């Protein structure tokens, strides 16, 4: 008998083994609907970071284990643009977006935000009730958006589902995070609801809960996994053939793009001021950049032979893998990709509404992993042009040795192994 009352049938002799089964000692263990189930929650009010992190973890788990299925709960409006492996699926909950005043509103529905949040909470709890996971991983927000996951956590805790809080390496400046979590009443949940806390980074770079007065026992729940490595898909997209870029080229990426206007403007201004920058650039604007900004950048780039611009590519890992260097804002996923593909990088971190990117980039620069530029003196075009000229010869991250830097997925897999032992039939 398995967790949550499910059974596993074993010892059926077969000639053909499908991708959803495992073989042991000449016999097949039928796992299918009786295997383990992992549920991952990602609030995804805006941007791509949370979704891409959860997708990476999900794919790693099913690649490592034939007896695991993963379901992702996400509010991302473009989750359907991504490919998912066998035994990974998603439930799209109604999207919300955070306004400049800190309030939330429905992303697409013309209804009150409280009604939207009530629907989200109901869908989350009903999905968890029916899916009945053995493991529930919550990304970044201990109680979910405005507490929408708390009722689900309580329900699953009574079922003895293993509850895991997943944190990126840097959450925010400690003072800002303490104020935010005090307001949201997040800290008690770490002590009372969660069994484990996984930090997808290294303590040598940052302790995401620094400055927070943690209850006894919470620090003992924390495991620093290392960063989550990425791989490049080789599946071409229709846009790739139309770029007209020859290698080497730089990749300029803004992630979701909603806050990437300054970075793109600075790079384009550099090529406008210095047409002789030797390496061309491919600029990926991001799907959430305002359409009028996208159009303006495309019109400027059309006048520059060394610039190509696209809006979005779900296979950005392939573009980065082929690039000679990266110019980015330094969000968690982009940072993991820079390290995974060993690319020299210029990081231009945002400082509002969070200092997360700045804290990460500062620590990484001190270690010699990346070069950081800030907007402290505005955005002088020639400052960026000089950085672009030097990027091709900038040392790669691999010239620095940091133990277990990219061990995150192996560590996560090992943690899962502790609570979900392989369901292999021994014969």
Residue range 160-188: mean pLDDT, rounded = 94
Q: What is the pLDDT of residues 69-108, one digit of tens each?
A: 999 999 888 888 889 999 999 999 998 776 555 566 777 7
CATH number, domain at 271?
Answer: 3.40.50.2000
Domain assignment of residue 224, given as a range: 3-229+406-419
**Residue 284 placed within a domain:** yes
**Residue 259 placed within a domain:** yes
Q: By CB neighbour count within 10 A (0-12 exposed, 13-18 middle, 19+ buried), where does 117 fall? A: buried
Within this chain, do residues 172 and 279 fall inside the same structural domain, yes or no?
Answer: no
How many domains are contained in the chain? 2
Q: pLDDT band at residue 315, thresholds of 50, 70 and 90?
A: confident
Within this chain, do residues 83 and 216 fall inside the same structural domain, yes or no?
Answer: yes
The pLDDT value given to residue 405 = 96
424 has pLDDT over 70: no
Within this chain, do residues 180 and 260 fall inside the same structural domain, yes or no?
Answer: no
Pick from 365, 336, 332, 4: which is nearest to 156 by CA? 4
Report DSSP letters for 149-181, one per residue: THHHHHHHHHTT-EEEEEEES--S-HHHHHHHH
**Residue 234 placed within a domain:** no
Q: Find the radius of gyration of the CA atoms of the chain.
A: 22
314 has pLDDT over 50: yes
Global pTM value: 0.86
Residue 30 to residue 17: CA distance in whole angstroms: 10
């Amino acid at each position: 008998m398995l967790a949550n009352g499910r059974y596993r049938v074993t010892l059926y002799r077969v000639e053909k083994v499908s991708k959803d089964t495992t073989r042991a000692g000449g016999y097949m263990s039928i796992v299918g609907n009786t295997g383990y189930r992992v549920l991952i929650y990602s609030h995804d009010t805006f941007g791509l970071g949370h979704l891409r992190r959860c997708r990476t973890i999900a794919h790693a788990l099913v690649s490592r284990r034939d007896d695991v299925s993963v379901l992702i709960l996400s509010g991302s409006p473009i989750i359907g643009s991504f490919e998912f492996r066998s035994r990974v699926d998603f439930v799209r909950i109604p999207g919300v977006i955070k306004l400049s005043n800190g309030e939330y509103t429905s992303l697409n529905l013309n209804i009150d935000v409280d009604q939207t949040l009530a629907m989200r909470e109901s869908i989350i709890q009903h999905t968890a009730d029916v899916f009945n996971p053995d493991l529930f991983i919550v990304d970044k927000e201990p109680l979910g958006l405005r507490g929408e996951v708390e009722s689900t956590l309580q329900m699953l805790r009574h079922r003895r589902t293993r509850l895991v809080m997943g944190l990126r390496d840097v959450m925010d400046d400690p003072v800002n995070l303490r104020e935010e979590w005090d307001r949201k009443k997040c800290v008690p949940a770490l002590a009372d609801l969660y069994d484990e806390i996984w930090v997808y980074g290294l303590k040598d770079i940052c302790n995401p809960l620094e400055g927070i007065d943690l209850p006894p026992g919470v620090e003992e729940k924390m495991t620093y996994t290392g960063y989550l490595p990425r791989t490049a898909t080789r599946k071409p997209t229709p846009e790739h053939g139309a770029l007209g870029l020859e290698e080497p080229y730089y990749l300029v990426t803004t992630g979701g793009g909603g806050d990437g206007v300054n970075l793109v403007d600075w790079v384009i201004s550099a090529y406008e001021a210095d047409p002789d920058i030797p390496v061309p650039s491919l600029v990926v604007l991001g799907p959430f950049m305002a359409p009028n900004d996208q159009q303006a950048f495309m019109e400027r780039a059309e006048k520059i032979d060394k610039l190509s611009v696209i809006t979005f590519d779900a296979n950005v890992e392939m573009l980065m893998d082929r690039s000679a260097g990266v110019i980015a804002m330094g969000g968690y996923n982009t940072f993991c990709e820079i390290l995974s593909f060993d690319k020299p990088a210029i990081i231009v971190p945002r400082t509002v509404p969070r200092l997360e990117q700045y804290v990460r980039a500062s620590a990484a620069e001190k270690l010699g992993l990346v070069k950081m530029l800030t907007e402290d003196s505005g955005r002088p075009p020639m400052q960026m042009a000089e950085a672009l000229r030097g990027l091709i010869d900038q040392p790669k991250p691999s010239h620095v040795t940091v133990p277990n830097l990219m061990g995150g997925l192996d560590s996560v897999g090992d943690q899962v192994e502790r609570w979900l032992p392989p369901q292999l039939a021994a014969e």
